[in-house]
Amino acid sequence: MVMFAPPTWPRFHLLLSHLSDKGFSQPLFFLLISSSSPIRSLVSSMSERRFCQEDDCSSLLSRLGSDSPRPRMKFGGMFCNVEGAFENKTLNFESFSPQTQRRRTAPTQTGGQDGGDAATGRTMVFPSGTTRESYGKREGDRLIIKGGKIVNDDQSFYADIYIEDGTVRQIGENLIIPPGVKTVDAYGQLVIPGGIDANTNLHVPQKGLNPADDFYQGTRAALCGGTTTIIDHVLVEPGVSLLSAFDQSRETAEQRACCDFSFHLDITRWHEGLYEELETLVKDQGVNSFLFFMAYKDKYQSSDSQLYEAFGVLRDLGAIAQVHAENGDIIDEEQKKLLSLGITGPEGHVLSHPEEVETEAVYRAITIAKQANCPLYITKVMSKSAADVIAKARKKGIVVYGEPITASLATDGSQYWSKDWATAAAFVMSPPINPDPSTPQYLTSLLACGDLQVTSSAQASFSTAQKAVGKDDFTLIPEGTNGIEERLSVVWDRAVSTGKMDENEFVAVTSTNAAKLFNIYPRKGRIAVGSDADIVIWNPKEMKTVSATTHNLTVEVNILEGLEFRGVPTVVISGGQVVVEDGKLSVTEGSGRFVPRKAFPDFVYRRIKARSKMAEARGVPRGNYDGPVHDVISMTKSVPPTPTTRGPTCPKIVTGPRNLHQSGFTLAGAQIDDHIPRRSTQRIVAPPGGRSNITSLS
Amino acid sequence: MSDCRRQWNREDELPVYLAGPISSGPNQRKSYGMFSSVEGAFDSKTIDFDSYAVGRKGSRTPRSRSRERILDSGDPVEKTPGDAREGSQTNSTGEIDGTGTERGKSLLQGGDGIKLLDGRLLIKGGRVVNDDQSFYADVFIEDGLIMQVGENLVAPAGVKVIEANGRMIIPGGIDVNTCLMKPYLDTQPVDDFLQGTKAALAGGTTMIIDHVTPQPEGSLLEAFERWQEAADKKACCDYSLHVDIPKWNETVKDELEMLVQDKGVNSFQVFMAYNDLYQMTDSELYAALSFLKELGAVVLVHAENGDLVAKEQRKILGMGITGPEGHPLSHPEELEAEAVFRAITLGNRVNCPVYITKVMSKSAADTIAQARRKGSVVFGEPITASLATDGSHYWSKNWAKAAAYVTSPPLSPDPTTLDHLHTLLACGDLQVVGSSHCAYSTSQKAIGRDDFTLIPEGVNGVEERMGFVWDKAVAMGKMDENQFVAVTSTNAAKIFNLYPRKGRIAAGSDADIVIWDPDSVKTITAKLQQSAAEYNIFEGLECRGGPALVLSQGQIVYEGGKLQVQQGTGRFIPRKPFPDFAYQRVKFRNQVKNSQGVTRGMYDGPVYEVPSMPKYITPSPSAKTSPTSHQPPPIRNLHQSNFSLSGAQIDDNVPRRSGHRIVAPPGGRSNITSLG
């Protein structure tokens, strides 16, 4: 190709623009650029200007939706296979940064001094200094992670990471450390994007009880386990305004949380009137996911009609529907039955929430979502059969995602029959942890093959004293288990160290997929220039034993007590700050920021949009039915309201007026279009029964 | 459960047919199997079908006794409730004497009443096909019953002999799903019990089970009686009735009990579709299933998600689609499969047999097949329409044609559906073929000409049912003739507890017999059909296989294309609850499935104090008192002390009192201990 001929200047310019017009992959430029230094400096100075301009607005999220997934293809494509491609140069991760458009990019802060660097094979890093003003309190906080293997969901490679102002600024080999920058040594370890826990309930009261671990305790535990972003649920009690519930939770979280957070809203009573609030939430408040309950009869449960309506609205708004999938009607009956049998202990919980009830609801939710053409996210996949239903639906092309949780991946429900009430009660959650001991392995396998996509914790911890509210009646036990801290370790131990999953998939299921689904990618869930500096240094070899005495939550029972997991975070960086190092936790209460999420995540909505266009049903243009019509005399009496609220059709169309109307056309002798023959034929076709609406469809 | 069994046994009026099957049904089949493998076993002797004869224990089989038994079986028959059969009682005594074999004699001595000549028939030289085996044998019929099945039976003088010439003799078909009187608005299907049963007989179906569809506010019993009355007047073949439950409430329960105990109805239909009309919520379904299970009834489920159908209908109408194509568009296959899945889940939870009526799509059928593989007691019934045609016709340019196909769930537009359903039928994943025959004339259908939701739902198929199963399954090599008998007749008889009175050719069974001609080919057309509907949804399809001769209650009603029936000859066949075929497994599971609590010590740790049960908590599912248990706060203590305030109490002498006081744990009393 022409590219490798030493180009003359104008011609090269043309080539550049030509290539970029065609959308050629970015890295190709750098082959060119590195071979011709004058141009390189020019390009870099160009983009430097741009970069500074854009930075003022700190519009990190401005284009999130529009261009996220594309870079991955380019990056993973041809270029990384070229041998030695990474040597001597800074990878152009800028192209993945959400800040800059792809075409304009270039290694920005690399040593402008061309020759020298290349010779030494090192890249100089210049702190950008004081021009930035975005993240006030992180001002000037600079870090470099050296020697680690960066693991993203698509590939792994060795590179150093330079972090400034809570953002990844530079990734490359052999970055030169400017003075005054803290170095974190990651030799021999993995550098992964911080985990995203897409399902926590740190502020969701149940039956009047607040969880034992609130935003502070919960996020501390999250950080210790390598999770740097949580998406918490806001439960909106029936009758309460969505916005006010959201504001209240957000306020609490801003005061208390130690890591970044975002929110799902749990809608407990759907009605049309919620539309405006939903719209505000989605468009202005950065919430793009809403949970509905198919369980908790007479309390939170939504009917199929409500779900269908709500899903339709969410689809139009570009949000993701989540469901707590269990058949509340059946559970209710089963609970009554068990209590009447005299079973009041925690084992009654699992007996009254059998697996099929979960499976059935998952199936139904998927059916409804398919009908409404809305993306669906099943929270808390706890059983094999529920997971199978999801996997099968995905095979049929339905846009559905499944989320197993720490508990379902790590343990089984045999403990419900524990003789110790407190232990048994600690496991109480809905859907319950499955008593089948092969469930964790099975779910892990589906996770590894992509049939399930996201792991979360469903963290909702209640102290034993709180659980004991239901000591005489299992239906009163507040539901929830811990798991926020152990999540990453569980997945590593159960999936990666057993060989089911590789490290990239590990990153995908613990972080990247959640980021993509909920539209915070690539700000979260990826180590790339421009992404948030939420980074975990992962030691895959170390072992840790889980125990309530050593964990960071306040609850006194850990459902994973005594289990040993391989793989622990050694260093955790959240928002550019080292929060965990050498097993020590140093967090600031309230340092977490709210992460707004935009509507229409590409990862989810591309297909939905295309299907919306395709799915338009068409009527059949028919001649009118002109046969006899059975005379219905007392229609109103015997027909209870038919499902449609449309007006009743007039059973008989009187022919007289219609014909008169038609004859109006021909009354006035000569017409303009008399010469057109079709006119007369039309008259013949006109049926005695009058015209029918059906024909107007064609 | 046992109660109602006892009641049944006490009632002498009930036909003896129904006394036996529960305990002796499936066991006998096994012994039969062994016997048939003995070489030459059939040669020149009458197979001892007596052991299968209804009304007696299978264990007593010696042939010498068979004579008396034939006598016996004659008597109870006369006591069947349907008076109609008295007329068909025929006599036969002297004439037959002196003919043929010893066995023949014994047979003939059997009937000692005064009987008419035409009540006796001998079908010679045919191949008897039951669901388990086929063999060559002659069939002797008397009094509307099969009296003898065996080789080389000699016809007594004066007995009409039908030469079967090696053709198949099969038990008459049982169509378990017809709606011959289902009202829509103020109209009734054009095929009433007369037209409908005529069509049934012409197609080789000798018994129908019709749906009683009461109005939501109406009484089930009244409706049942109305249906029975109409059918007694008009039906030309035996019939029985399912009762649809339009609404679940307490009053329905009593009526259901009465229907099961006294009226001989053992199957009820519940609806998951028809939002705001018949639809039941999952809770109601759960309650209904629990109740019906206790009664020993089979639950038929119309499985479609009514909520979503209603939404889709509104959407489709909103798009301006008002023609019949809106019907399948608003009833997508997924909604059917979803409801089937839910129905099965409910059935599993309640441990109740579930029968899915009208399996119309592949995915619904697959759902059933999968559930059966997991051990659920569920039965699936594809219908003639889903087995013979597809839903592409909804898009026909001819409104009348398109509307004729409207039924719920709709025919699947996928043309491979019928093949798939036949395959599942052949391998036993689906069990019964119905027709869901509910014929409305085009002018009735035209009520919905401007709004497809008003089109009365129903297709024809009672006449074509057997023919199409033969044509598409047996003639294609998917199914053998025995399975054909099973799906068109025997399975239905077993599920609905008519077996072996119906659904089998054996001594003692009803003489509902079809001589099947596998080679006849006819083209279906509305002109030649018995049904009164002017449109046949199978119009123009060619069908191999059909009945050459049909016997109903021992009478020839159809021969060589000619139908000779008498209105009102059909009898109501009562059915007992707890059919073995459906309930045996359920009973065992009941015994096994008792959940047990864990015996624990009391929880005596601290209990969080719930400040005030927050106002938004709707009554918690358990009606039990909320734990009396908070940490001993002052108020509580006061309350407790109340008990002992007033010195002497009435029950002071009862010792448990003091004991109780000691056991009371610091955290308050717990119910948990009561489990141990």
Element at B148 (helix H, strand E): strand B145-150
User: What pLDDT, in 10s, does the model give residues A268-312?
Assistant: 999 888 999 999 999 999 999 999 999 999 899 999 999 999 999
What letters, b where the CB count within 10 A reaches 16 and e where it falls short, cover A53-69? ebbeeeebbeebbeebe
- What are φ and ψ of residue A153, in 5° steps? -75, -15
The ipTM estimated for the assembled molecules is 0.72
Q: Is the pLDDT of residue A255 over 90?
A: yes
Beginning with the edge strand found earlier in the chain, give each strand of the sheet holding B267-271 in spatial order: B173-178, B205-212, B238-244, B267-271, B298-302, B354-359, B378-382
Calpha distance B475→B467 (Å, rounded): 10
How large is the average pLDDT for residues B423-450? Answer: 92
pLDDT at B462 over 90: yes
Q: Given a cut of 60, is residue B639 above it in pLDDT?
A: no
CA–CA separation, B94 vs A320, rounded Å? Answer: 85
pLDDT at A624: 77
* Shortest CA gap B340–chain A (Å): 10
CA dihedral B355, B357, B358, B360 (to 10 degrees): -40
Name residues whose C-beta falls within 8 Å of residue A470's C-beta, 6 or more positions apart in sequence: A425, A428, A476, A477, A478, B627
Q: Does B308 sit within 8 Å of A304, measured CB to CB? A: yes
The first and second tokens of residue B355, run together, are 């029968």
Mean pLDDT of B157-177: 91
**Which of these, B430, B264, B228, B243, lies nearest to B340 by C-alpha position?**
B430
For an interface test with B, which of A270, A272, A333, A415 has the most B Cβ atoms less than 10 Å from its Cβ? A333
The pLDDT confidence band at residue B624, using thresholds 50, 70 and 90, is very low
Residue B673 DSSP label: G
pTM above 0.90, yes or no: no
* pLDDT-based confidence at residue B220 (cuts at 50, 70, 90): very high
Q: In a mutagenesis test of the A interface, which of B334, B396, B405 is the best target, namely the one with the most A β-carbons within 10 Å?
A: B334
Tell me, yes or no, if B610 comes closer than 8 A to chain A by beta carbon: yes
Q: Name the minimum distance, in Å, from the CA of B533 to any CA of chain A.
A: 14
Instruction: Tell which of A367, A370, A624 to mutate to test the B interface (max B CBs under 10 Å).
Output: A367
Give exposure, A145-159, as e/b (b: 16+ Cβ within 10 Å). bbebbbbbbbebeeb
Contact residues, chain A, for B334 at CB < 8 Å: 367, 370-371
**In B, which residues are within 8 Å of A638 by CB distance?**
183, 185-186, 215
Per the model's pLDDT, the better-predicted residue between B389 and B89 turns out to be B389
Measure the CA–CA gap between A465 and A474, rounded to whole angstroms: 14
pLDDT tens for A582-608 read: 888 999 899 999 999 999 999 899 889
C-alpha angle B162-B166-B168 in degrees, rounded to nearest 5: 85
Whether A123 has a pLDDT exceeding 60, the answer reads: no
Structural tokens at position B511:
């003489």
pLDDT score of B373:
93
What are all long-range contacts of B109-116, with beta carbons under 8 Å and residues at least 24 apart? B109/B67, B110/B67, B110/B70, B110/B71, B110/B74, B110/B142, B110/B147, B111/B70, B111/B71, B111/B74, B111/B142, B111/B143, B112/B71, B113/B74, B113/B89, B115/B89, B115/B90, B115/B91, B115/B142, B115/B143, B116/B89, B116/B90, B116/B91, B116/B92
Alpha carbons B85 and A252: distance in angstroms, whole number: 82
Is A84 a residue whose pLDDT tops 80? no
User: For position B170, what pLDDT does the model report?
Assistant: 95
Return the amino acid letter for B612. S
Contact B435, B178 (CB under 8 A): yes
Q: How confident is the model at residue B200 (pLDDT cuts 50, 70, 90)?
A: very high
When pLDDT is cut at 50, 70 and 90, the band that residue B427 belongs to is very high
3-state secondary structure A365-400: HHHHHHHHCCCEEEEEECCHHHHHHHHHHHHCCCCE
| CA A342 to mean position of chain CA atoms | 42
Nearest to B600 among A419, A475, A641 (CB): A419
Res B596: pLDDT? 75
Residue A447 pLDDT grade (very low, low, confident, very high; cuts 50, 70, 90): very high
Write the residue in B308, B598, B602 that is nearest to A371 by C-beta. B308
* Selected residues 180-219 of chain B with any CB under 8 Å from a CB in chain A: 183, 185-187, 215-216
Segment 268-297 of chain A within 8 Å of chain B by CB:
297
* Average pLDDT score over residue span A384-410: 94
How does pLDDT run across B296-316, given as a tens digit for each residue? 999 999 999 999 999 999 999
Interchain pair B607, A468: CB under 8 A: yes
Nearest to B282 among A329, A463, A624 (CB): A329
- The pLDDT score that the predictor gives to residue B85 is 39
How long a stretch of residues is chain B? 676
CB-based contact, B453 to chain A, within 8 Å: yes
| CB within 8 Å of chain A, chain B residues 18-77 | none
Residue A384: which pLDDT band, with cuts at 50, 70 and 90?
very high
Going by pLDDT thresholds of 50, 70 and 90, the confidence category of residue A559 is: very high
Q: Are strands A289-293 and A320-324 parallel, antiparallel or unpaired?
A: parallel
**Of A408 and B23, more confident:** A408
Question: What residues in A contact B612, CB-CB < 8 Å?
Answer: 208
Sign of the CA dihedral with A217 first, then A220, A224, and A229 last: positive
**What pLDDT, on the 0 to 100 scale, is given for residue A678?**
43
Mean pLDDT of A606-617: 81
Q: Side chain identity at B254, as an amino acid letter? A: D
Selected residues 339-368 of chain A with any CB under 8 Å from a CB in chain B:
339, 341-345, 347-348, 351, 354, 356-357, 359-360, 363-364, 367-368
Bridge partners of B542? B523
- B6: DSSP letter: H
Residue B612: what pLDDT?
56
Inter-chain residue contact B670 with A472, CB threshold 8 Å: yes
Tens-place pLDDT, residues A183-225:
999 999 999 999 999 999 999 988 888 899 999 999 999 999 9
Nearest of A582, A579, A598 to residue A138 by alpha carbon = A579
B 559-598 residues inside an 8 A Cβ radius of A: 595-598
Q: Mean pLDDT check: name the lowest of A137-141, A571-575, B116-120, B579-583.
A: A137-141
- pLDDT above 50 (res B17): no
Q: Are strands A535-545 and A564-574 parallel, antiparallel or unpaired?
A: antiparallel
Report the range of poorest mean pLDDT among A302-316, A610-624, A671-685, B65-79: B65-79
- pLDDT tens, position by position, B19-29: 333 333 333 33
pLDDT above 60: residue A315: yes
Q: Which two tokens stand for residue B625?
A: 């008192």
Residue numbers in B near A471 (CB within 8 A):
603, 607, 627, 629, 667, 670, 672
Of B312, B334, B608, the CB nearest to A463: B608
Segment B366-385 shows an average pLDDT of 94
**pLDDT-based confidence at residue A388 (cuts at 50, 70, 90):** very high
Q: Which A residues in the span 409-468 are in contact with B, Cβ-Cβ below 8 Å?
A: 417-422, 424-425, 463-466, 468
Q: Which one is predicted more confidently, A604 or B600?
A: A604
pLDDT of residue B35 exceeding 80: no
Report, as an integer, the average pLDDT of A608-632.
79
- Give the pLDDT confidence score for residue A672 in this predicted structure: 52
Q: What is the pLDDT of residues A62-79, one digit of tens each?
A: 333 344 333 334 343 444
B403 within 8 A of B445, measured Cβ to Cβ? yes
Residue A345 is nearest to which of B314, B600, B622, comparing CB atoms? B600
Here the contacts of A14-21 (C-beta below 8 Å, separation 24 or greater) are A20/A103
Beta strands across the sheet bearing A182-185: A167-172, A160-164, A142-146, A182-185
The answer to whether B143 touches B74, Cβ cutoff 8 Å, is yes
Q: Is pLDDT at A161 greater than 60 in this prediction?
A: yes
Which of B158, B156, B79, B118 has the alpha carbon at shortest distance from B551? B118
Which pLDDT does position B120 carry in this prediction?
86
The winner for highest mean pLDDT among A93-97, A388-392, B649-653 is A388-392
CA B508 – CA B502 distance, rounded (Å): 10
Confidence of residue A614 (pLDDT cuts 50, 70, 90): confident
Looking at B499-618, which runs of residues are DSSP E strands? Answer: 513-523, 542-552, 555-559, 562-563
Q: What percent of chain A stands above pLDDT 90?
A: 56
Partner residue opposite B450 with nearest CB, options A209, A473, A649: A649
Mean pLDDT of chain A: 77
* pLDDT, position B412: 93
Name B51's Cβ contacts closer than 8 Å, sequence gap at least 6.
B28, B31, B32, B58, B59, B60, B61
